[in-house]
Amino acid sequence: MFFKDKILNDEEPKLSIGFFHLSSCSGCQVAFLDMFEAAVEILDTVKLVYSNMLTRQKEIPYLDVAFVEGALCLEDQHHLNLIRELSEKSRIIVAIGGCSSFGGVRRLSCGNQPPQPQHQSFVPITEVELLKGKVKYAIPGCPPNSSLLYNFLLALLELNDDFLQPFEIMALSKKASGFDVIAEVVNKGLCVGCGTCSAACPTRAISFKIECAKPSFNPSICVHCGSCLASCPQSFKPYPQPTYT
Amino acid sequence: MKKVVKIEGIPLTEGHSGLFLKVEDGVIEEGLYYALVPVRGFETLLIGRDAKSAPIITSRICGLCQITHSIASSRAIEKACGIEVPPEAEELREVLGLAVRVYNNLLHQIIISEDLFPEKILQLDFIRKVQRVRKFIGEVLESIGGEIIHSPNVVVGGISEPLEEIVKERILSQIDEVFKELQSLYREFEKAINQMWKREGLPEDLGKHDLDFLATDKFYSGKIEIDDFSFLTPQEILPEELKTRASNLFPLYKGKPVETGPRARKVLFDGYKPKGGVKELHILRAKENLEALQRIKEILEKKRFDGELWNRESPTGDGETLGIGVHEAPRGTNVHAVKIDKRGKILYYKIVVPTEINLFAVSRALKGERASWAEFIVRAYDPCIVCASH
């Protein structure tokens, strides 16, 4: 694990974390605060070294885990500088929420709005070449469930690799919409009709056909957050996938 | 001695914003406040999309006061298409709007808690108390709206899921206790604000300005004309290179800059005489929480909400009628305007958010104050910059 040495050797074994905000709604940071009393507990346990909303820090210090929400806007110089700085100063990066993991609602943006009509290219940080290898985990959801965030942070502190493995795989995946649930699970004959995807969908774009016990997908209100495929118990297979030739 | 001070990234506020200050002998002669986050293009991305998807997508404008955008958006579409909404659904929307007001105002108290309590232990203790109330409000939002952040139950034509009696009883059984907690929280906040003012040596009327106020209703929604708004671009206002970098428009109401928010509501609907200054704004915002919670109780006690709350009529318009949806958000008046065509697709969308309106009020409040106090003034307006450049 990346900070095992730190915990064994350092005098102050507190994990330093930071929240960074690209092109997004800040909802993921609010979801972190929505752990309510547990958030205070977390703030007491880890060291929050940077967050525009919660600390007075202006310069970005060296830190262990950078939680990044939102997609990178290529036309914005501030975002490019921030990403470069993060690639140097953070040990790992966690993409938090749909926008930074898979593009999210930014996948619908088309630019051309005053006063900045050129802002149209929004890239999730998992696709940025500069951060390849740095973005270790991706947490799906719009916003991610706060108890999921809590358990993720606990797993990070306890070095629980089993819990973290699915998030590691999601950082490499680009599959996020209801179409991918159909393609990856239903069309491959793996769907057991449990209904977890429809319960997980934050916009209720996936409903459940009770007659045939299969999900049905309404693409017009899908925001590409990745909750459905991530929550599907049939989608995550920890063993190596067979290849067909 | 004259000099120009530029501050980028104001800590303890939401989003990335900047301040341009012309300072003479430490006193601000002219101050300008602007947004620097990229424009995400919500007005253009909605064009051509299904009208029913608008409340879901506009909710993603903001993560702090999500539901006010879904409510304003669905009201605008209902006006444009002439859809009648069941009165119970409107009342539940009001409850949701008020719940998010308390939720968001308390979030602001958490954000500025580092200003209020210099000692870490006291700060965490205060946050813990605030979180206890927010947890209850989160339950209200989740059980009526479907989720805490980005609620999917606010749909065009009403509320998609009825509120079961048993859930309502559960909320009502806790509300009195939470109200007491909120009252003690209000007293603590007021004390902390007074102490902070004394500690930092701030004057009582810090950030006083003489602008008019804009509000449409005390709790829910009123009437407004979109033609009353005119917009100035950054090119017309900001100096030098900021002309091309700032990412918000500057709205004027009837040709004048105005202030909107808790103070405006208090002045226009409660006959409150404003003393001016941002300390008053902090106190009034905290006071609004108490009123909102009382109103939630009043509405929920009055009626049953377990019937059908959704008029499932398909939204179709004539492509000409401009539907305007207004909602009194935590930070002020939130306006959405929309045109729908015969197929139910969106032809035109315009959003005016409260922080955008308040940017001028912040700039005006900065005038004549000491440069070192500029950040306190900005924070008092609780700016939500991602909303401002949606």
Closest CA to B261 of B104, B109, B368: B104
CA distance B156 to A240: 46
Residues in chain A closer than 8 A to B235 (CB atoms): 115
Q: What is the CATH number of the domain that holds A204?
A: 3.30.70.20
CA distance B99 to B292: 7
User: Both A49 and A149 in a single domain?
Assistant: yes
In A, minimum Cα distance to B110 occurs at A54
User: Both A100 and A9 in a single domain?
Assistant: yes
- Dihedral of CA atoms A18, A22, A24, A30 in degrees, nearest 10, equals 10
Could you tell me if B374 and B380 are in contact, meaning their C-beta atoms sit under 8 angstroms apart? no
Count of the separate structural domains present in chain A: 2
User: Both A158 and A189 in a single domain?
Assistant: no
Question: Do B246 and A115 make contact, defined as CB atoms within 8 angstroms?
Answer: yes
- A90 contacts: CB under 8 Å, gap ≥ 6: A18, A62, A63, A64, A65, A66, A134
Q: What is the CATH number of the domain that holds A13?
A: 3.40.50.700
Question: How close, in Å, is residue A136 to chain B by CA atoms?
Answer: 25
Of the residues A172, A192, A222, the one at which a domain ends: A172
pLDDT tens digits, A16-60: 999 999 999 999 999 988 888 888 888 888 889 999 888 888 889
In B, minimum Cα distance to A55 occurs at B12
Residue A3, pLDDT > 70, answer no
pLDDT at residue A151, rounded to an integer: 92
The answer to whether position A238 is within a domain reads no
Question: Do A26 and B14 make contact, defined as CB atoms within 8 angstroms?
Answer: yes
Q: What domains appear along chain B, each with residue ranges and CATH number?
A: 2-388 (1.10.645.10)
User: Both A209 and A163 in a single domain?
Assistant: no
Question: How close, in Å, is residue B204 to chain A by CA atoms?
Answer: 24
Judged by a CB distance cut-off of 8 A, whether residue B247 touches chain A is yes
In B, minimum Cα distance to A21 occurs at B15
pLDDT tens digits, B76-87: 999 999 999 999
Q: Which residues pair with B355 in a beta bridge?
A: none
The answer to whether position A123 is within a domain reads yes
Could you tell me if A26 and A58 are in contact, meaning their C-beta atoms sit under 8 angstroms apart? no
pLDDT at residue A235, rounded to an integer: 82
Q: How many CA atoms are closer than 13 Å to the CA of A35, on its beta-carbon side? A: 19
User: Both A209 and A135 in a single domain?
Assistant: no
- B335 contacts: CB under 8 Å, gap ≥ 6: B72, B224, B226, B229, B324, B325, B326, B351, B352
pLDDT at residue B155, rounded to an integer: 93
The answer to whether position A243 is within a domain reads no
The answer to whether position A12 is within a domain reads yes
CA distance A30 to A48: 15
Interface predicted TM-score of the whole assembly (ipTM), two decimals: 0.91
In A, minimum Cα distance to B154 occurs at A203
The answer to whether position A184 is within a domain reads yes
Question: Do B38 and A30 make contact, defined as CB atoms within 8 angstroms?
Answer: no
Question: How close, in Å, is residue B165 to chain A by CA atoms?
Answer: 22
Residue A77, pLDDT > 60, answer yes
In B, minimum Cα distance to A23 occurs at B38
Q: Considering CB atoms only, which of A52, A113, A203 is closest to B39?
A: A113
pLDDT at residue B322, rounded to an integer: 94
Question: How close, in Å, is residue A140 to chain B by CA atoms?
Answer: 15
Helix, strand, or coil here: A98?
A: helix
The answer to whether position A17 is within a domain reads yes
User: Both A51 and A157 in a single domain?
Assistant: yes
The answer to whether position A63 is within a domain reads yes
Question: Do B131 and A36 make contact, defined as CB atoms within 8 angstroms?
Answer: yes
Of the residues A145, A172, A199, the one at which a domain ends: A172
Q: What is the pLDDT along chain B (390 residues), one digit of tens a residue?
A: 789 989 888 889 988 999 999 999 989 999 999 999 999 999 999 999 999 999 999 999 998 988 999 999 999 999 999 999 999 999 999 999 999 999 999 999 999 998 899 898 999 999 999 999 999 999 999 999 988 889 999 999 999 999 999 999 999 999 999 999 999 999 999 999 999 999 999 988 888 888 999 999 999 988 999 899 999 999 998 888 889 899 999 999 999 999 999 999 999 998 888 888 899 999 999 999 999 999 999 999 999 999 999 999 999 999 899 999 999 999 999 999 999 999 999 999 999 999 999 999 999 999 888 989 999 999 999 999 999 988
Residues in chain B closer than 8 A to A198 (CB atoms): none
Helix, strand, or coil here: A17?
A: strand
| Neighbour tally for B266: CB within 10 Å | 23
pLDDT at residue B298, rounded to an integer: 93
pLDDT at residue A8, rounded to an integer: 54
Question: Do A21 and B57 make contact, defined as CB atoms within 8 angstroms?
Answer: no
Q: Which two tokens stand for residue A215?
A: 């999900």
User: Both A117 and A218 in a single domain?
Assistant: no
Of the residues A154, A172, A190, the one at which a domain ends: A172
Q: Considering CB atoms only, which of B10, B38, B61 is closest to A76?
A: B38
User: Both A33 and A60 in a single domain?
Assistant: yes
Residue A83, pLDDT > 90, answer yes
User: Both A135 and A182 in a single domain?
Assistant: no
User: Both A38 and A138 in a single domain?
Assistant: yes
The answer to whether position A150 is within a domain reads yes
User: Both A38 and A148 in a single domain?
Assistant: yes
Listed by number, the residues of chain B in 113-172 with a beta carbon closer than 8 Å to a beta carbon of chain A are 114, 124, 127-128, 131-132, 134-135, 138, 146-150, 152, 160
Residues in chain A closer than 8 A to B389 (CB atoms): 116
A92: exposed, middle or buried (Cβ count in 10 Å: 0-12, 13-18, 19+): middle
Instruction: Say what the pTM is.
Output: 0.93
Question: How close, in Å, is residue A23 to chain B by CA atoms?
Answer: 6
- Domain hosting A192: range is 178-231
Going by pLDDT thresholds of 50, 70 and 90, the confidence category of residue A240 is low
Question: Do B14 and A111 make contact, defined as CB atoms within 8 angstroms?
Answer: no
Question: How close, in Å, is residue B374 to chain A by CA atoms?
Answer: 15
What's the 3-state SS for chain B? CEEEEEEECCCCCECCEEEEEEEECCEEEEEEEEECCCCCCHHHHCCCCEHHHHHHHHHHHCCCCHHHHHHHHHHHHHHHHCCCCCHHHHHHHHHHHHHHHHHHHHHHHHHCHHHHCCCHHHHHHHHHHHHHHHHHHHHHHHHHHCCCCCCCCEECCEECCCCCHHHHHHHHHHHHHHHHHHHHHHHHHHHHHHHHHHHHCCCCCCCCCCCEEECCCCCCCCCCCHHHEEEECHHHHCCCCHHHHCCCCEEEECCECEEECHHHHHHHHHCCCCCCCHHHHHHHHHHHHHHHHHHHHHHHHHCCCCCCCECCCCCCCCCCCCEEEEEEECCEEEEEEEEECCCCEEEEEEEECHHHHHHHHHHHHHCCCEHHHHHHHHHHCCCEHHHHCC
User: Both A81 and A143 in a single domain?
Assistant: yes
Q: Considering CB atoms only, which of B11, B39, B50 is closest to A119?
A: B39
